[in-house]
Structure 1
């Protein structure tokens, strides 16, 4: 009989498969997508958030555990399991050597990469290169990989995994790792979670999906409904950012994100500002803007900058709408010109210019205006002007399976001894809400390795599961 079955094909699944194979287990990996689209959302990633106490290869200065923890605590508002979060943080400090062993290369961050050289290690070639490296390593080690193999159900008895069902077969294994992603591509589930708003809109109908179309949440729903697995997380919470409204419905990836929000103002389709664009550094706060957009009429807004901002942010794939005057820009964006000019005029008049410095929380701010802009507030007065249409872009959802530091799935408060979970399917244990750049890959890498190592141990001797978790971390 097969030792370990891994369901999923992204970073967490691959880490699990590799660690299980390294531990001597026979391993099969089932990827729902065709080979050309393998890797789930991991193919769109760029970096990994890493704890380090001193400069390390591509990382500068230091990013100690307590600072990492404070950053995570700030974006989650305390909605996180500290024990599991610190496990992820500590694991992030030592995983790069293992990753390199499996063919992953790192590079210093590119110019304009959001000031994260101290906190994040960037993959050479991005997430697609990382995924390809892991697949090559898995094939070399003898992991059996099957594409076009979505799993629609599991056989679980008394908390123990027995088999998985694809369209054509029943696959037995001594242990299993669930790493099949969230439900962000399931429009009906998103509609169910978000419901109608006070304007009678279905906000989820206007969400774009930054990543794979294959994350339908089939296994999550099956685990919730059929097996009553213990859940965690709010179904409306997700890694959701502001992306270009012209992006494709699926797989737009990193290049569709709009990074100039903090350098100008954001107005909704009624031409009103609605949030502090200068609240904090973009890497720490960019993930709040998707949810902010979800609350606006039509789930639409516009990022407005002038020529002073050009060159200060990572340019997106689509050029902004350009105009020589602000009224002309309003017309191009189909906004009410009078309201737009009143909004921009009030903002410009409220700006108190100090020493502008986009690399720190500077003293350029507004006064006597709501909402305020607390940093980087410069008047928009230098043509040409640019406008980027925005919509919410969902990367992955946070509702998932409750777990512990062994990565075990729980049923009625009892941990399974041979069914484990990693990646997006359990990220809500660490991310109750919010996001900070690179943390998703940190969670997937840490728990993928723990789940794979423990699954291999469980396949041979369930009593080894607890000891293996500490070795994996």
Structure 2
């Protein structure tokens, strides 16, 4: 019998597998996807948010625990478990050396439009390189890895893991029989349910306009996160955490693919212009805070608009101050022409822009700080980086809600144990998106998902190995 079974194939699962193997346990990792799509949402990531009290290798200045905590507190509106959040924050300060031991490389500090050279460590080669490095290290250490092996059910007895059930399936034209895999302990790291269209529809329901908002959602992440295991765990009585409608949801290019669009589908000029809905009206403060701290609220904001679509509008003054999108937007020499290209009601759109332009108060524009360029006398206000949109050419980008991962998950504690009736399991642990709702009740800040996955993946893997030796989790 295997010691530790890890279900999932992304960052959290890999961290768990590596830690369990380092602790001396035999490890089997089951990844639902084919090898070429391995890595879950982690393959689409770029960075890790890290606490540090002084400059450290690829991180400039300092980003102390309290500032990290306040950033998280702000984006979640207090919907977070402080004990677990601070655990993630502290773990983020010490994980990079361990990551390097497993082949992960970090690139020199970034500067300019991303504003995160101080807070986030970027992976050389992005998330795909990180995932590949972890898989190479796992194979070298003797972790058994099986692809195209989805788990459809678990056997749980009195809160203890007994076995995982694999359905019969076709792989490369070969019929594989159903399997039952026993293990002394198990780590669940199989992601959320963002790619389950039926579950999204059930969670979001209909709005007052009779629409099913989720029908217009795009999925930034992996198509393999269907939530099968999460739903089964909840039906087996595992304690739940989080709101099923809350998610890391970004406003992305409306032309993005249905699945796996990744980071390159993001539109990063929102804070430098205005955003209108299909009726040509603004609906939120575009300059509320730095983009890396607020970009993840915009998917939900767009989801609340008619037909779940918005339009980011800038003029030529904004060009060069943000990461350019992969595909060019609509371009016009006048706002009238831009309205027509975007199929927006011209009269309302022009009135919205005229009111906004008139409300802008002159200041010292600086996109690298919370400047004093703001509006007066309009609702919603724009509190920073407010400049008239008056210099052609003008640009417009259609936006759709892009779901990265969902926050409904399994309740846990500092040992990463799954809870049943408020009691921690002795041999079943959880990491990554399946428990991120303990830290992220709502909102997001750049790189914190990887911080959560890395911290709890390492904790879960270590404690799963200890449970095989009948030692208490730490």
TM-score range, shorter chain: over 0.9
Q: State the partner residue of 2:170.
A: none
Q: State the partner residue of 1:390.
A: 399
Measured in 2, the distance between the counterparts of 1:377 and 1:208 equals 29
The answer as to whether partners of 2:48 and 2:450 remain within 8 angstroms in 1 is yes
**Secondary structure in 2 matching 1:59:** coil
1:47-446 aligned within 5 A? 47-112=47-112, 114-167=114-167, 168-225=178-235, 227-446=236-455
The answer as to whether partners of 2:234 and 2:240 remain within 8 angstroms in 1 is yes
Deviation at 1:464, TM superposition (A): 2.8
The answer as to whether partners of 2:154 and 2:164 remain within 8 angstroms in 1 is yes
Measured in 2, the distance between the counterparts of 1:233 and 1:345 equals 41
Measured in 2, the distance between the counterparts of 1:23 and 1:108 equals 32
* Residue 473 of structure 2 corresponds to residue 465 of structure 1: yes
Measured in 2, the distance between the counterparts of 1:120 and 1:373 equals 27
Deviation by residue 1:233-292 (Cα, 9 ceiling, x = unmatched):
000000001100000000000010010000000000000000011111101111110110
The answer as to whether partners of 2:271 and 2:291 remain within 8 angstroms in 1 is yes
Measured in 2, the distance between the counterparts of 1:111 and 1:205 equals 37
The answer as to whether partners of 1:112 and 1:314 remain within 8 angstroms in 2 is no
Q: State the partner residue of 1:6.
A: 6
Deviation at 1:111, TM superposition (A): 4.8
Measured in 2, the distance between the counterparts of 1:45 and 1:234 equals 24
Measured in 2, the distance between the counterparts of 1:282 and 1:380 equals 19
Measured in 1, the distance between the counterparts of 2:181 and 2:38 equals 21
**Secondary structure in 2 matching 1:149:** coil
Measured in 2, the distance between the counterparts of 1:148 and 1:112 equals 41
Structure 1 runs, 4 residues or longer, greater than 3 Å off: 109-113
Measured in 1, the distance between the counterparts of 2:162 and 2:83 equals 30
Measured in 1, the distance between the counterparts of 2:161 and 2:250 equals 36
The answer as to whether partners of 1:329 and 1:386 remain within 8 angstroms in 2 is yes
Measured in 2, the distance between the counterparts of 1:340 and 1:414 equals 56
Measured in 2, the distance between the counterparts of 1:332 and 1:108 equals 41
Deviation at 1:317, TM superposition (A): 1.2
Measured in 2, the distance between the counterparts of 1:113 and 1:211 equals 24
TM-score, scaled relative to structure 1: 0.97
Measured in 1, the distance between the counterparts of 2:327 and 2:108 equals 25
Deviation at 1:109, TM superposition (A): 4.1
Deviation at 1:465, TM superposition (A): 1.5
Deviation at 1:143, TM superposition (A): 0.4
Deviation at 1:358, TM superposition (A): 0.6
Q: State the partner residue of 1:469.
A: none
From the superposition, tell whether residues 421 and 429 of structure 1 become closer, same or farther in structure 2 (CA, over 3 Å): same
1:13-32 aligned within 5 A? 13-32=13-32
CA RMSD of aligned residues (A): 0.7
Measured in 1, the distance between the counterparts of 2:349 and 2:401 equals 22
Deviation by residue 1:413-443 (Cα, 9 ceiling, x = unmatched):
1110000000000000000000000000000
Measured in 1, the distance between the counterparts of 2:284 and 2:423 equals 43
Deviation at 1:119, TM superposition (A): 0.3
Deviation at 1:108, TM superposition (A): 2.3
Structure 2 unaligned runs (5+)?
Answer: 168-177
The answer as to whether partners of 2:110 and 2:116 remain within 8 angstroms in 1 is no
**Secondary structure in 1 matching 2:2:** coil
From the superposition, tell whether residues 438 and 113 of structure 1 become closer, same or farther in structure 2 (CA, over 3 Å): farther
Deviation at 1:460, TM superposition (A): 1.6
**Secondary structure in 2 matching 1:392:** strand
Measured in 1, the distance between the counterparts of 2:195 and 2:135 equals 24
Q: State the partner residue of 1:471.
A: none
**Secondary structure in 2 matching 1:88:** helix
Deviation at 1:110, TM superposition (A): 4.0
Deviation by residue 1:341-365 (Cα, 9 ceiling, x = unmatched):
1111111111101100011111111
**Secondary structure in 2 matching 1:302:** strand
Structure 1 unaligned runs (5+)?
Answer: 467-473
